[in-house]
Copies of this chain bind each other. A is one copy, B any other.
Amino acid sequence: MDLFTPSVQHWLDLAGIFVFAVSGALLAVRKNFDVVGMLLLASVTGLGGGLFRDLVIGAVPPAAFTDLGYLLTPLAATVLVFFLHPQVERINRAVMVFDAAGLGLFCVTGTVKAHAYGLGLTASVVMGLATAAGGGVLRDVLANEVPSLLRWDREVYAVPAVVGAAAVALLIRAGELNGVTSGAAAALAFVLRLLALRYNWRAPRAWHRRSRRTEESEGEA
């Protein structure tokens, strides 16, 4: 199901992949990886979430491997960061805003596609989250970092994605999903993520943690 005209949706997808890929390439530079590492992290960040979704819902070969534009967009992001790394770092705040836009877009399209492949609404919401956040998790795992999605000292990322995806699920149930309403759901996730960044919204940690114990058992887990 195309929510917008096919070509508009395609360009939005490419834009989302591009900004995610930029974040992957930037992490590669910070970790002192070479250009191969930059391209791999860019690809995994931009395409990983959708790839995971497509494998789970049985949409093989995944869109990432059937559309040349998808495959080449991370290459463009890598070239940009390779030559203009300091400038891109300097607009890191703008990158975060674009990343939030990608988050909003992908949690919507991921939910819609999963539902179109026959998943239930709850499972589709999970797939919407996976589409939006999966690439970033894979990026961090490959870079041998604790995924920022899991860290308590990072602004919430999953919550806006789940809210946007759940809004889509409610719209599907109500039979009201169309270009306008799904755009509104994406905007909702986008704005929530921006607010989280602006006001440092963080998710809570378990009650009654004992910090001593936390440190002692660091190596035991």
Residues of chain A touching chain B, judged by Cβ–Cβ distance below 8 Å, are: 27-38, 40-41, 51, 55-58, 60-62, 65-66, 68, 71-72, 81-83, 85-86, 89, 117-120, 122-123, 126-127, 137, 141-147, 149-152, 156-159, 202-210, 213-214, 217-218, 220-221
A215: min CB distance to chain B, Å: 9
Q: Is the CB–CB distance between A123 and B210 below 8 Å? A: no
CB neighbours (8 Å) of A36 from chain B are 149-150, 156-159, 203
Q: Is the CB–CB distance between A123 and B85 below 8 Å? A: no
A-B contact pairs, 15 of them (CB 8 A): A30-B213, A30-B220, A31-B218, A34-B152, A36-B157, A36-B158, A37-B151, A37-B152, A55-B56, A61-B117, A68-B122, A82-B207, A85-B206, A89-B213, A142-B147
Oligomeric state, in copies = 3
Chain B residue with the shortest CB-CB distance to A205: B34
Q: Is the CB–CB distance between A146 and B209 below 8 Å? A: no
CB neighbours (8 Å) of A32 from chain B are 152, 205, 209, 214
Q: A68-B120, A126-B71 are in contact. Are A34 and B151 (CB under 8 A)?
A: yes
CB neighbours (8 Å) of A71 from chain B are 122-123, 126
CB neighbours (8 Å) of A150 from chain B are 28, 31, 33-34, 36-37, 40-41, 142-143
